[in-house]
Amino acid sequence: MESKNAKELIITREFNAPKELVFKVFTEAKHLAHWWGPVGFKLEVITLDVRSGGKFHYSMTLENGTEMFGVFNYREVEVNEKLVFTNGFADKDGNVIRAPFSPLFPVEVLNTWTFTEKAGKTILTMKGTPYNATEEENDFFSAMKDNMNQGFNGTFNQLESYLLKLQS
């Protein structure tokens, strides 16, 4: 689903699982390590404190040893309903840094992720907008939407497989 706001990335995905379970796998370390992140990366949860003012700090490592870090800074948490947070790349201590792939990617993105249930399935709606970004960073973010869609699709395919495993 494309947004009317060129700076906003919106992705809607349906999962064949109740929203309580989907929310749980987004907010518990023992689950996140099994599916979060780009395909081919191993995730390690460093810190996970899912509450307003809390943080999710993690490392992602490729088989060749390349390591990157990410961080979510939670602003609003409504259990089973909504997560609002800024996220970005991070250093090993959880401080937000520039993306390693481009000096033009916004340092932070403001996200609102909502979870709704329909007929036992969960609909996740993700909205992400550059936060405190320059016009150049906004333009770069907009130009990266296809890549971000592709990346999230891979991550959510991993989530779908993980949810099936949990429910079998």
> Quick check: helix, strand or coil at residue 162?
helix
Distance CA 147, CA 87 (A): 17
Q: Mind listing the pLDDT tens digit of every residue in the chain (168 residues)?
A: 333 456 899 999 999 999 999 999 999 999 999 999 999 999 999 999 999 999 999 999 988 999 999 999 999 999 999 999 999 999 999 999 999 999 999 999 999 999 999 999 999 999 999 999 999 999 999 999 999 999 999 999 999 999 999 999
Spell out the domain ranges in the chain.
Answer: 9-167
Distance CA 79, CA 24 (A): 9
Q: Are 78 and 72 in contact (CB under 8 A)?
A: no
> What pLDDT, on the 0 to 100 scale, is given for residue 2?
39
Q: Which residue has the tokens 């309580």?
A: 20
> What pLDDT, on the 0 to 100 scale, is given for residue 102?
94
> What pLDDT, on the 0 to 100 scale, is given for residue 1?
37
> What pLDDT, on the 0 to 100 scale, is given for residue 7?
83
What's the pTM? 0.93
Q: What is the CATH number of domain 9-167?
A: 3.30.530.20
Distance CA 92, CA 165 (A): 31
Phi–psi pair at 164, nearest 5 degrees:
-60, -45
Helices (H), 67-144: 135-143
Distance CA 48, CA 32 (A): 10
Q: Which residue has the tokens 């909504």?
A: 82
> What pLDDT, on the 0 to 100 scale, is given for residue 6?
62
